[in-house]
């Protein structure tokens, strides 16, 4: 069991280093619609690792059932993390306020700016999620 944990830690470290090395350089703006070959490779390796992990858990612990709902949530969280690492995201600053009325206006303005800042990352995450989802569920449905 310790060998499996060691293997998973090494695999996670290699994926993290690879994912960060593919991230855009400081000051470089990433286009969320561009997916290069390195990113596709990382998505494929992550999908294979998830598929291997799910099959390993199913084999070692037959009483544990991984439901589709939880797996899709996990895949989207991974996709969103990759999207933020590869595409970057700038959190908007909170505007100054002087009284309760301007505070409420600042809160609504900040929420609007935050949603606009998250839009490219979420759309890129959806693209990555669709790739991961197809790869993982095709692998789970395959016999073997």
- The answer, yes or no, to whether residue 85 has pLDDT greater than 60, is yes
Q: Residue 87's pLDDT band (boundaries 50, 70, 90)? A: confident
User: How many C-beta atoms lie closer than 10 Å to residue 107's C-beta?
Assistant: 13
Domain hosting 78: range is 2-141
Q: Residue 88's pLDDT band (boundaries 50, 70, 90)? A: confident
Residue 61's pLDDT is what?
87
- Total structural domains in the chain? 1
pTM: 0.68
Task: For residue 144, give both structure tokens.
Answer: 């073997």
CA distances (Å), 110 to each of 21, 84, 103, 107, 141, in order? 31, 19, 10, 5, 44
The residue behind tokens 């700016």 is 113
Give me the count of residues in the chain. Answer: 144
């Amino acid at each position: 069991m310790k060998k499996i944990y060691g293997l998973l830690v090494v695999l996670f470290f290699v994926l993290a280093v690879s994912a960060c090395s593919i991230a855009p350089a400081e000051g470089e703006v990433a286009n969320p619609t561009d997916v290069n070959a390195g990113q596709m490779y990382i998505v494929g390796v992550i999908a294979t690792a998830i598929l291997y992990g799910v099959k390993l858990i199913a084999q070692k612990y037959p009483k544990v059932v991984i439901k589709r709902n939880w797996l899709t949530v996990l895949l989207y969280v991974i996709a969103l993390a990759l999207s933020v690492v590869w595409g970057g995201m700038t959190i908007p600053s909170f505007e100054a306020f002087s009284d309760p009325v301007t505070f409420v206006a600042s809160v609504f303005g900040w929420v609007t700016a935050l949603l606009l800042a998250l839009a490219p990352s979420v759309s890129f995450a959806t693209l990555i999620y669709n790739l991961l989802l197809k790869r993982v569920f095709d692998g789970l449905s395959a016999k073997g």
